[in-house]
Chains A and B, each alone.
Chain A
């Protein structure tokens, strides 16, 4: 009943509270009808006023019972702050408001003995972003001609595949012609941003298809040779058999979900995929495997992945791999062989204190079958993880990328195994700036996921708003398999927004390349950067400026 006791969860414990104006509310019910979390409900509220209007005391009791919308106070139905109620309210009568004095982390664990899980990114951004402390500070003025972003022709391509140094390219003269004596490793020159790396399952089928459409559109209608990584959650057969497969980087992670379909579709493939990406780890939850909670394992996901409805946990490791050497042998060799050595094979690891050792080892690969090193930092996103992993495990990408690049430089092997970096790039909205700085620090390319979701209409952020990707109840149909919710997502609009964003990014790249006078990507051109933070400057070996 209406009693409140000390240990009962109460409204002031919750991270989000509803600000509700009963005078403006018409009880149209749209907010309640739209909230997938059951965090609000209709109810009635009692009003009671005892008044006296005579010249002598003469109490009159006036009772009123009023229908209202109210917040559900419950650990499992707490308001996520997604703000859909506010969006649909015709009268601006309701909205979630952040409660600074919340105690939810304590109350939830205390009540349910459950390590809290959620989606999104690290919500503890205590340090500020390194990339924001770096400026492109070396401008061509009088020293050398800066370029005109509008007019100049820029070469914005990044390699995906093993690059041989000139002396190792097996040229030979045959008659009057210079020819290759034997096959060299496959290399794709692609746009320096790869999209996605998010699985079907984590994403709704509409969201996933929208990224695929945007990718194909950018290639075919705009001419940006951008690639999409599939994530590991199976790939639709129709896509495997289509000409658009050439834009797809197929991922294999520790769960190996969906690979039976990929393999059995091989005889019918009319195009090779762009590349294979072996996922060893993920920046958002390093040391942890994939996690797809059963609420998202709908019928079509069960089918594509070949599993029953259950929480799907991928192992933290590729089972059967016990050393770097073994992973090179088993994974790289097998996936090179899978497409007869025509398709580059790269590896993705979570940035870690050990990343340089791994990269150094790979650089010694004598078989030339390592086609890329993808480094994913702590600020990457995920569909579902333990909050403790999201907030407290991982390694920032920036210095680690720099370390790897300089390690390659030390060996004189920079550029041979392309470096691709990720982890929160574009999280403040400007991917071009973040990517450009990463290139200058040594990345050949970058990859981005959560930004794509933001483009699609994700209402969450990195300070606890929504973050309900794991619940299967994504209010905007992005991270759910529920048709009622997925149908909210406009696949064409999503694709259009992604396309438009990359048109803008493409232009913004030029606005950065022109002033430093680079016609091609400034990979490793760290002289272009300055940092206003001495420690960042020292750590990254770039100029300090103040």
Chain B
């Protein structure tokens, strides 16, 4: 046991400063010797008083003068350190329980990281004082008392403990905590007296409560006693001067306190928006899919807005899809009658001689075979028709009773016009009757249909040749004249021996009239068009054994006609150039002889306009007409069919119908119609996927009325309800109209414009229209 209770340690020995290490070693030595009280006269040595203890737990006391940095750093509980005068940085750094009484000012980072014990400063503390203070709940909370003020950035990252900054003699300071203190503070309490500025926004500056007052009252007495300033107790305990600083909680810290943008926009931004004067803006935020005007597309039920391929391809524009639709609806009579609004020859032409352009593009051909339109046509062959409902005074003369003339007559008469047909031949029917082999056209069907025309009151005068004078008279007597003379002048090429040629047209007429013209065994037909094929058939019918058809070019006849002729045994040769015709037959330019008992030429026919005045004709002898098949020089005169341009029966029938309609329009004072057709339905609008191919044999065996199952109803609603069922928004309704028709309607307030209706519509009736482009137009 030492003699004196207090060890005296000097930092300067023999006028020379000893190092920190030497000084600390001296302390350790004294401690080992049993000293617990130290008086240290330092010369700036560091770390005095820290991390020291006694084995028996006896308290340690240090009286320190003139220390260096970190006095009492890492001090343990049971250590008291009293420092005379001021000290430099880090007094009480990492304090782990010591009581440190600093009688002067503290340098920077006083009480830095203090986690236990008490630090009393009788003056000021420097920057970052109290930074990173902590409180481990296993120990008492650290306390840090400062009589005056701290420097800037104090209490940064403070996590616990208590600091008391008394602001004594600091009335002239802007902030007793300097600039931007308490940054990163997450716990603990800083009591402060006096003005505080630029605090971190991570803390609250609050008023004191009762608990705070009790703590401060008790603590203040002790603090002031320790630093020998008991006399200012009253001055410092006017608690209206005090505040406390606590950290925001984790939740409070993460709360955003910015002004919502919408508040800014509505209150501080340009009123009504910067575009408010040029564009309507409600700031509504739309979903990706919306109804009504905010749809990208909208649907429309466009029933019959397009031509079906059959209707479009038919020169008469017979809407077969509509006929079948009516059949499908059970409106059988209506369906069969419909065709008569277009042609008086559904049996003879559609059902027999027509090459049926209608089904060439039939959508069904992409599934299996086209709709059996011939059979459908024949369904209407023997329909009875009534007399017109009304009789008109107006009269129309029709020159020629071929398909064009009869078609015109039929339609005019059904309107109630008085129609007289003037036919040069002794029979009516034109080429249908005169030249088409009965093998191809059943005379019974033709006669039925010719009689049906007569039955509605068409007046036919046969053997009535019209000449120039008569033509003039007709114009006086009739309100309109239809020149439907067809092409009755066969073309002959003037090669050597042409006088030997039999003209095809004459030959066929003779055959059909039963005159049985004799042809011998070998026949050569010059020409290989459709009419020439009829000649071939006629020649075989008249007993020929070997018929050869020649042409200078690829045969113009349809494949079907050529097949027919070939089946009978005909040879069709091309290119072959005729040199001359002799009694032996046809010599070709290459010297070959085609032996023939009869040579028939069938390379086309021209119209005979000898009854027309010159002004009707152009310099090449063709009649001058406008787009309405109306004479350019006489508006009462209309010219349909082959007389204008050689074509199929359907072309002639179509022309006749158009002419009839335009005569009616002219006589009713209406503008003439150019019969513009709706565009053909694009092929991909019809949904093939709904149809399953049938075996051809099964198709052959089907009844014509069952074509309702095969017709794909292009562009024509088949009333299947598919759209109505598929619509995800259930926006579609089906309305029944008073006239027995129906329509489907999509409700824009429900529809989102997805286009499923159009996507599933088997017939391509629903169309999706753009709803966007309209906004971009000026």
Interface flags, A5-48, vs B, CB<8A=1, else 0: 00000000000000000000011111111111010011111101
Flag B765-778 by CB within 8 Å of A: 1 or 0 each: 00000011001111
Of B278, B283, B284, B753, the residue contacting A33 (CB under 8 A) is: B753
Distance of A451 Cα from B624 Cα, bound (Å): 72
B141 at the interface (CB under 8 A from A): no
B270 is an interface residue with CB less than 8 A from chain A? yes
B273 located at the interface, meaning its Cβ lies under 8 Å from any Cβ of chain A in the complex:
yes
List residues of chain A with CB within 8 A of the CB of B261: 213-214, 217, 492-493, 495-496, 499
Do residues A67 and B726 form an inter-chain contact, with CB atoms below 8 A?
A: yes
Is B268's beta carbon under 8 Å from chain A? Answer: yes
Judge whether A151 and B180 touch: CB under 8 Å: yes
Question: Are B692 and A151 touching (Cβ within 8 A)?
Answer: no
The residue that B296 contacts in the complex, of A28, A36, A150, with Cβ under 8 A, is A36
What count of chain B residues pass the 8 Å CB interface test?
62
| Docked-complex contact A242 and B772, CB < 8 angstroms | no
Contact B692 A63, beta carbon cutoff 8 Å? yes
**A residues less than 8 Å from B728 (CB atoms):** 26-29
**Interface mask (A186-209 → B, CB under 8 Å = 1, otherwise 0):** 000000000000000000011001
User: Judging by beta carbons under 8 Å apart, are B296 and A88 in contact?
Assistant: no
A238 at the interface (CB under 8 A from B): yes
A216-238 Cβ-contact flags toward B at 8 Å (1 or 0): 11001110000000000000111
Chain B hits for A521, CB < 8 A: none
Using A222-B258, A472-B776 as known contacts, say yes or no to A32 and B270 having CB atoms under 8 A apart.
no
Which residues from B are CB-within-8-Å of A33? 288-289, 295-297, 752-755
User: With A27-B756, A30-B752, A472-B776 as given contacts, are A151 and B687 in contact (CB-CB < 8 Å)?
Assistant: no
Smallest distance from the beta carbon of A85 to chain B beta carbons, Å?
9
Does A487 sit within 8 A of B, measured CB to CB?
A: yes
**Cβ-defined contact, A308 with B778, below 8 A:** yes
- B285 beta carbon closer than 8 Å to chain A: yes
Chain A residues within an 8 Å CB radius of B285: 487-490
Given contacts A29-B756, A33-B296, A487-B294, contact A1 B775 (CB under 8 A): no
B495 within 8 Å of A by Cβ? no
Choose one: A42, A48, A84; the contact of B756 (CB below 8 Å). A42
Binary contact track A490-507/B, C-beta < 8 Å → 1, others 0: 111101100100000000
> Which residue in B260, B281, B288 is a CB contact (below 8 Å) of A205?
B281
Q: How far is the CA of A216 from the CA of B259 in the complex (A)?
A: 13
Complex contact A29–B729 (CB within 8 A): yes
Whether B754 contacts A295 by the Cβ 8 Å rule is no
A45 to B688 alpha-carbon distance, docked (Å): 9
Is A389's CB within 8 Å of the partner chain B? no
A303 x B296 contact (CB < 8 A) = no
A29 touches B274 (CB 8 A): no
In angstroms, Cα B79 to Cα A418, docked, is: 61
* B366 part of interface (Cβ distance < 8 Å): yes
**How many A residues face the partner with a CB closer than 8 A?**
77
B286 x A488 contact (CB < 8 A) = yes
Contact of B275 among A48, A297, A300, A485 (CB under 8 A): A300
Counting chain A CB atoms within 10 Å of each CB, the highest count among B284, B684, B778 belongs to B778
| Docked pose: A475 CA to B776 CA in angstroms | 16
Q: Are B289 and A209 in contact (CB under 8 A)?
A: no
Chain A residues with CB under 8 Å of B264's CB are 213, 216-217, 220-221
Do A41 and B759 have beta carbons less than 8 Å apart? yes
Tell me whether B269 is interfacial, beta carbon within 8 Å: yes
Contact A239 B270, beta carbon cutoff 8 Å: yes
* Distance from B353 Cβ to chain A, minimum over Cβ atoms (Å): 30
| Chain A CB within 8 A of B262 CB | yes
Q: Which residue of A lies closest to B284 (CB)?
A: A487
* B contact patch SS: loop
Contacts of A483 in B (CB 8 A): 775
Report the Cα distance A18→B270, complex, angstroms: 44
Q: Is the CB of A309 within 8 A of B274?
A: no
Q: Choose one: B153, B265, B281; the contact of A492 (CB below 8 Å).
A: B265
Q: Which of B687, B690, B760, B776 counts the most chain A CB atoms within 10 A? A: B776
Provide the residues of chain B in CB contact with A28, threshold 8 Å.
728, 754
CA distance A493 to B265 in the complex (A): 12
- Point out the residues of chain A lying under 8 angstroms from B726, CB to CB: 27, 67
Q: For the complex, what is the distance from the CA of A420 to the CA of B253, rounded to whole Å?
A: 36
Q: How far is the CA of A88 from the CA of B291 in the complex (A)?
A: 15
Asked if B156 is an interface residue, CB under 8 A from chain A, the answer is: yes
A484 touches B275 (CB 8 A): no
Q: Are A30 and B754 in contact (CB under 8 A)?
A: yes
Is A327 an interface position by the 8 A CB rule? Answer: no
Interface residue A537 (Cβ < 8 Å from any Cβ of B): no
Chain B 722-756 interface residues, beta-carbon cutoff 8 Å to A: 726, 728-729, 752-756
A454: interface (CB < 8 Å)? no
A488 pairs with B776, CB closer than 8 A: no
With an 8 A cutoff between CB atoms, is B183 at the interface? Answer: yes
User: If the complex has contacts A29-B729, A212-B274, A484-B295, are A34 and B289 also in contact, measured as CB distance less than 8 A?
Assistant: yes
- Contacting residues, chain B, for A496 (C-beta < 8 A): 260-261
Min CB distance B756 to A, Å, is 4
Are A238 and B277 closer than 8 Å at their CB atoms?
yes
Q: B679 within 8 Å of A by Cβ?
A: no
CA distance A490 to B692 in the complex (A): 49
Report chain B residues within 8 Å CB of A217.
259, 261, 264
What B residues does A27 contact at CB under 8 A? 726, 728, 756
List the A residue with the shortest CB-CB distance to B280: A483
Inter-chain contact B274/A67, CB cutoff 8 Å: no
Tell me the bound Cα distance from A222 to B690 in angstroms: 63
B683 on the A face (CB < 8 A) = yes
Which chain B residues in 344-403 approach chain A with CB under 8 Å? Answer: 366
Is B288 within 8 A of A491, CB to CB? no
Between A and B, 30 residue pairs with Cβ closer than 8 Å are A26-B728, A27-B728, A27-B756, A30-B754, A32-B754, A33-B753, A38-B297, A42-B754, A44-B690, A46-B689, A63-B692, A67-B756, A67-B759, A88-B289, A150-B184, A209-B275, A213-B261, A213-B269, A216-B268, A220-B268, A221-B264, A236-B277, A238-B276, A298-B776, A309-B777, A484-B290, A484-B295, A487-B294, A488-B287, A490-B285
Question: Which of A's residues lie within 8 Å of B, judged by CB?
Answer: 1-2, 26-36, 38, 41-46, 48, 61, 63, 65, 67, 84, 87-88, 150-151, 153, 205-206, 209, 212-214, 216-217, 220-222, 236-239, 242, 244, 295-300, 302-304, 308-309, 472-473, 475, 481-485, 487-493, 495-496, 499
For the complex with contacts A30-B289, A309-B778, A482-B775, 4 further pairs of A-B residues with Cβ separation under 8 Å are A67-B756, A217-B259, A300-B275, A488-B287
